[in-house]
Amino acid sequence: MHEESQSREEWSTSVCSLVAAELRRGASRGILTEEEAHQLTSRFLVLLDQALDLPSFRVNPGPANPWGAAAR
């Protein structure tokens, strides 16, 4: 069970990073604002949490968002 949870978490982190990178690219091209990209990424994290039941997103909500301060 632990390995399954870890692989789901690794997969979700990878997918979220991909989505965040695309949103950053869209913001840099003026397709959407940085605030919109941040909001979309945050909403996507909620969907992942609900779909995969990943406790790390609830325990550490700040660092899980790749659009956060480190990405700016």
pLDDT in tens, 27-40: 999 999 999 998 98
Per the model's pLDDT, the better-predicted residue between 71 and 17 turns out to be: 17
What average pLDDT does the segment 51-68 reach?
58
Q: How remote is the C-alpha of 37 from its chain's centroid? A: 11
Q: How many CB atoms lie within 10 A of CB 21?
A: 13
Give the contacts of 31 (CB within 8 A, at least 6 positions apart).
none
Half-sphere exposure of 42 (CA within 13 A, CB side): 9
Q: How remote is the C-alpha of 69 from its chain's centroid? A: 13
Mean pLDDT of the chain: 75
67 pLDDT higher than 60: no
d(CA 36, CA 11): 24
